[in-house]
């Protein structure tokens, strides 16, 4: 696929698909600007080369209806402060008024379209809606990795109506780091997998076993593996209908020569709310009236002792209920360890990204992906409609 540096931008109407689906507080103020800041290099490149930027994004889940709380206007106001220049706001994302506003734009100006999902055609990848978006542009640029696993009109359908398409700097960076880590890694390659449920990551685990050298498993999903090994896990979250799946995955890993590490101790408590009776116990001695809510100190030592020899590490999913202190220690310890490690460390997934940020090491790991679902689908070995669309457009032109 073509990159932003390979297309002519001067004087062109550049439709820049971004992901500004950012959290807002009750006063409609942006509370986390990671995804906005990630697009600034592409925006500034287009401004500096004299392009006219038409920004497009969704926000929330308005389900094809105009919902005031899902307006992108507060995001436009925030972006204007970051850029140090006005960001024009459209009242819609298609229609005569929008076409007129785009036609009156001058080089270097930035226009933010209203929420794409105010129209049902966006999520349906509707050809007519795609055509109307496409007629706004001379050049289409996708800088929204986080939605590139969706076959939506602004990500997929639009490429049939724009002659020139390219990847923005952020999307290019996402793909570059993924390929460095997963397609041509320095070995041994380690994968740290956490989160709540094994059922949501079966495809990921199946795809990774033939590709990695070390697999580190934590979070509540580790409980299912531990129970599959015959260990008692008390009242912990377990997917009993996937015990055989867990056993099968461990067997496949053994056959492939993949080293798998599971927790050897755990932080337990009767509940998330009960922090007065927190204990650290061996996974062989979990009290029946408690639940595992974090990995223990010996587990962290075990994980770190094995990970320190890996030049490539990919992390997806927390090791415990890190949103609820004191059950954050395992996840934060891993984040800090990776932040200080001289290795290629790629962190993907919303919770993992939040963890490295809260631990204060987001700028120390090699890369933090902006796309949870999209990153996960790449790990599962799936192709992303948004990436395929860019490749098709590049081949066509």
**Alpha carbon distances (Å) from 365 to 345, 356, 378:** 6, 8, 20
Q: In what order do the strands lie in the sheet with 344-347?
A: 259-261, 214-217, 189-193, 312-316, 344-347, 367-368
Q: 238 falls in which pLDDT band (50, 70, 90)?
A: very high
- Nearest Cα to 258, choosing from 322, 316, 205, 319? 205
**Alpha carbon distances (Å) from 85 to 3, 79, 136, 268, 275:** 25, 9, 22, 52, 49
| Cβ–Cβ < 8 Å for 354, 194 | no
**pLDDT (average), residues 102-118:** 98
Q: Where would I find the beta strands (DSSP E) of 109-202?
A: 110-112, 139-142, 164-167, 189-193
pLDDT at 349 over 80: no
R_g of the chain computed on alpha carbons: 23
Q: How far apart are the first and last CA of the chain?
A: 11
- pLDDT, one tens digit per residue, over 141-168 is 999 999 999 999 999 999 999 999 999 9
> Given this model, what pLDDT does residue 350 score?
74
The single-letter DSSP state of residue 236 is -
- Nearest Cα to 58, choosing from 11, 115, 8? 115
pTM: 0.91
Q: 205 falls in which pLDDT band (50, 70, 90)?
A: very high
- Show the tokens assigned to 237: 């979250």
- The secondary structure of 327-382, three-state, reads CCHHHHHHHHHHHCCCCEEEECCHHHHHHHHHCCCCCCCCEECCCHHHHHHHHCCC
Residues recognised as catalytic: 35, 197, 350, 373
| Cβ–Cβ < 8 Å for 42, 65 | no
Q: 397 falls in which pLDDT band (50, 70, 90)?
A: low
**pLDDT (average), residues 339-368:** 91
> Given this model, what pLDDT does residue 153 score?
98
**Alpha carbon distances (Å) from 23 to 29, 63, 303, 312, 361:** 8, 18, 33, 31, 21
> Given this model, what pLDDT does residue 44 score?
98
**pLDDT (average), residues 384-392:** 95
> Given this model, what pLDDT does residue 396 score?
81
| Residue corresponding to tokens 């507080």 | 25
Question: What percentage of residues in the chain have a pLDDT greater than 90?
Answer: 91
Residue 371 CB neighbours (<10 A): 26
- pLDDT, one tens digit per residue, over 286-314 is 999 999 999 999 999 999 999 999 999 99
The single-letter DSSP state of residue 147 is G
Average pLDDT, the chain: 95
Which secondary structure element, helix H or strand E, spans residue 177, and what is its range?
Answer: helix 169-182
- The Cα–Cα gap between 381 and 207 comes to 6
**pLDDT (average), residues 87-96:** 98
Give the chain's domains with CATH numbers.
Answer: 4-167+384-396 (3.40.50.1260), 175-365 (3.40.50.1260)
Q: 395 falls in which pLDDT band (50, 70, 90)?
A: confident
Residue 305, exposed/middle/buried by CB under 10 A (0-12, 13-18, 19+)? exposed
In DSSP terms, 55 is beta-bridged to 16, 112
Helix ranges restricted to H, 211-308: 221-228, 243-256, 297-307
**pLDDT (average), residues 49-62:** 97
- The Cα–Cα gap between 230 and 227 comes to 5
């Amino acid at each position: 696929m073509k990159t932003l540096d390979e297309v002519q931008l001067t004087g062109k109407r550049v439709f820049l698909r971004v992901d500004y689906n950012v959290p807002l507080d009750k006063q409609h103020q942006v509370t986390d600007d990671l995804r906005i800041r990630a697009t600034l290099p592409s925006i500034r490149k287009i401004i500096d080369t004299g392009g006219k930027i038409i920004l497009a994004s969704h926000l929330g889940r308005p389900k094809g209806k105009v919902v005031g709380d899902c307006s992108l206007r507060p995001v436009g106001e925030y972006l204007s402060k970051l850029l140090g220049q006005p960001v024009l706001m459209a009242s819609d994302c298609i229609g005569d008024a929008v076409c007129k506003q785009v036609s009156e734009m001058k080089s270097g100006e930035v226009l933010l379209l209203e929420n794409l999902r105010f129209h049902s055609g966006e999520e349906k990848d509707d050809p007519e809606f795609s055509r109307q978006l496409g007629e706004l542009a001379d050049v289409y640029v996708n800088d929204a990795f986080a939605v590139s696993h969706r076959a939506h009109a602004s990500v997929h359908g639009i490429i049939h109506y724009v002659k020139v398409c390219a990847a923005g700097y952020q999307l290019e960076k996402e793909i570059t780091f993924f390929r460095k880590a997963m397609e041509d890694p320095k070995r041994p390659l380690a994968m740290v997998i956490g989160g709540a449920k094994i059922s949501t990551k079966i495809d990921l685990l199946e795809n990774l076993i033939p590709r990695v050298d070390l697999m580190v498993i934590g979070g509540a999903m580790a409980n299912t593996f531990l129970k599959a090994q015959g260990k008692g896990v008390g009242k912990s979250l377990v997917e009993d209908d996937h015990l055989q799946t867990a056993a099968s995955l461990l067997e496949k890993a053994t056959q492939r020569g993949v080293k798998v590490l599971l927790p050897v101790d755990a932080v337990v408590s009767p509940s998330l709310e009960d922090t007065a009776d927190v204990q650290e116990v061996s996974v062989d001695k979990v009290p029946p009236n408690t639940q595992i809510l974090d990995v223990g100190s010996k587990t962290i030592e075990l994980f770190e002792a094995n990970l320190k020899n890996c030049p490539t590490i990919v992390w997806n999913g927390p090791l415990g209920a890190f949103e609820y202190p004191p059950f954050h220690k395992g996840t934060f310890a891993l984040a800090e360890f990776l932040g200080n490690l001289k290795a290629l460390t790629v962190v993907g997934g919303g919770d993992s990204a939040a963890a490295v940020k809260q631990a204060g090491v987001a700028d120390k790991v090699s890369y933090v992906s902006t796309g949870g679902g999209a990153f996960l689908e790449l790990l599962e070995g799936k192709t992303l409609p948004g990436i395929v669309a860019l490749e098709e457009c590049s081949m066509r032109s």
